Amino acid sequence: MIRLNHITLTFPDGSSRVTAIDNVSLTAHPGTVTGITGPSGSGKSSLLAVSATLIRPDSGQVFVDGLDVSQLNSHEATELRRNNIGIVFQQSNLVPALTAREQLTVMNELGGRHSRRKRAKAASRADALLEAVGLSDQAGKRPHQLSGGQRQRVNIARALMNDPSVLLVDEPTSALDQERGASIIDLILRLTDELDTSTLLVTHDLVHLPRMHGAVHIVDGRLSNAASTA
Ligand code: ADP
Ligand code: MG
């Protein structure tokens, strides 16, 4: 579960500060997807960055599985992200030289100790996830050999490698056409259910919202009631 409690975040802006998030509270439970919509610049990505412990809020708390993670030091926050939080950024940031399968297995090599047994476990999880996102046949391909939609699927699979309890996804369909976008949303809904993640999904595309378990609309950093679940 992830719970944001009265989060406020400001950025320096010349001699004053701009408020990116203004007193936002929300909760996402395991096995559910909460949509976050709002105009460009309304604070959606900032909200995900705070949820991911990449940015510390000015005030308020972030609870992940009941633990207040908003005051962790950077080492502890890195550890938390490695073990508990899956992040899919807006730009796919796959490593050009690695195959789809290696994009996943390399997650196991980043930090932490890795025994041979752990490596075998990571390899079988990578294969299971590639299958879950429909890419078993493309496992040996590098990013430039994959379509935009396939790259996004690799991104999502990679974010799930360490079995996170929280999945944060920023505009996964922005570079895709309607049909491919809809299938990415379907995939996130299905994996959230199968893997029981608490998922926050930023999208500016309102057509996807009715299929989510909940939705919030954010304007100028503030939650608005205008577009809750349809
Ligand atoms: P969205 O994802 O909804 O488009 P953002 O969260 O990216 O919105 O931005 C919200 C507000 O915070 C905007 O006014 C943006 O200019 C500002 N902002 C975001 N990141 C930074 C930053 N690193 N430094 C300064 N201002 C920022
Ligand atoms: Mg954004």
List pLDDT tens digits, range 186-224. Answer: 999 999 999 999 999 999 888 889 999 999 999 999 999
Count other Cβ atoms within 10 Å, centred on residue 92: 20
DSSP structure class, residue 175: T
- CB 20, CB 10: distance < 8 Å: yes
The Å distance, Cα 133 to ligand 2 centre, comes to: 24
The Å distance, Cα 44 to ligand 2 centre, comes to: 5
Fold of the domain spanning 2-228: Rossmann fold (3.40.50)
Model-level pTM? 0.94
Taking the domains of the chain in order of start, what are their residue ranges?
A: 2-228
The Å distance, Cα 172 to ligand 1 centre, comes to: 18
DSSP structure class, residue 208: G
Ligand 1 near 57 CB (within 6 A): no
Residues ≥6 apart with Cβ < 8 Å to 19: 8, 9, 10, 220, 221
Give 129's Cβ-side CA count (13 Å radius).
26
Q: What is the pLDDT of residues 143-200, one digit of tens each?
A: 999 999 999 999 999 999 999 999 999 999 988 888 999 999 999 999 999 999 999 9
Tell the burial category of 169 from Cβ atoms under 10 Å away from its Cβ (0-12, 13-18, 19+). buried
Which ligand is located closest to the Cα atom of residue 22?
Answer: 1
